[in-house]
Structure 1
């Protein structure tokens, strides 16, 4: 997210919006709803957003992403939640959201893999081992030991 301008004074009522590959501060549509509702999720919904997609589960991975969408600009809200802090940014339109998702893709890919490993059950661990063996071009014998090449 390089090229983001320096923070401005009224930051608590403004949010970063990506539009046509440019970042700018704009009025935060969710901040306008805060105080009227009990929780932040209720404020997001009151601003007209519904969940569009997401990855990761809180407390299971170090960073989760939930993307919310609505018809009017800014059309997409990106909720990045870390262990200690949450950051919200917006994308004005679908092309802007896809650009931002593309920028986040390496992180999202790592989150998806971490999430799968975190949810692996003992009965599916052999599938995970098979995937890792395939990635590392390894073969195993019937007893599970690695066959040397």
Structure 2
């Protein structure tokens, strides 16, 4: 729960230039198109998972201002993700979901399970960092 309005939360999560400030594990979220925000924007995304960086190219598939951002992979690691905002009496509930799949049969499956633990920790840390950043930026 973030003690602020969805508009303020969305302003942070919809600005990839701010991701280094709070998106734990993301080492690159570089625009690949002139369009830097909104539906159709494409990015080169890398996430540190242990001692490696994994990722690929993603495209924003849905952009509902102050409500939802979804993305999916176009190249590299197969992935889907979403930011979802829900207004409440206490502020804004922010959800982050990331799903990914690695190829490689049984070995890929084992690596995916190990990497999944890191990704889950990074997601929780990201939500906490976003909350701290937003609540500390109040005038």
Q: TM range, normalised to the smaller chain?
A: 0.3 to 0.5
Q: Which has the higher strand share?
A: 2
TM-score (norm 1): 0.31
